[in-house]
Amino acid sequence: MLGVLTLAATLEVGGDAAIRYGLTRSAWPLLLIGGMALVAYGLLVNWSRAVEFNRLMGIYIVVFFVVSQAIAWAAFGERPSTTLVLGGALIVAGGVVNETTSTCSGRPRTSIRPARRPATSSSSRT
């Protein structure tokens, strides 16, 4: 699952970067490529609905932050400030807490795993 989220974050941040380049350099094909990457990201991150949405987005935000900083550095030469690194450490710490502690419903979480579906009866009583 982490690989899929990393790919999704790369598509989202890469799509945003392509649109930024397209707008600042009047390169209209980059706008189209960026838009297609953003649609691909949305489909990829939401394709499997086996993981609860709140958990999926919680860990995705951590992955998104890390990938966005790497792309900002590589594509735009933007190095993170000390305060950005500190804030990012809090984001990552929040993701770790979210994945290693119990939920409001009392179910323990130790990793991203598919949500449990309620059992259904194969026979019905009339």
Alpha carbon of residue 19 to chain centroid? 19
d(CA 102, CA 62): 18
For residue 29, give the H/E element and its range. helix 28-47
CA dihedral sign, ordered 108, 62, 18, 7: negative
Q: What is the per-residue pLDDT for 86?
A: 96
- Please determine, for residue 13, whether its predicted confidence score (pLDDT) is greater than 90: yes
What's the number of CA atoms in the CB half-sphere (13 Å) around residue 19? 12
- Please determine, for residue 28, whether its predicted confidence score (pLDDT) is greater than 50: yes
Q: What is the per-residue pLDDT for 59?
A: 87
* 31 contacts 5 by C-beta, under 8 angstroms: no
pTM of whole model > 0.75? no
At 53-105, the pLDDT tens digits run 888 888 889 999 999 999 899 988 999 999 999 999 999 999 888 888 755 55
Over range 27-39, report the average pLDDT.
Answer: 95
Coil vs helix vs strand at 102: coil
Q: What is the per-residue pLDDT for 54?
A: 82
Strands (E), 1-126: none
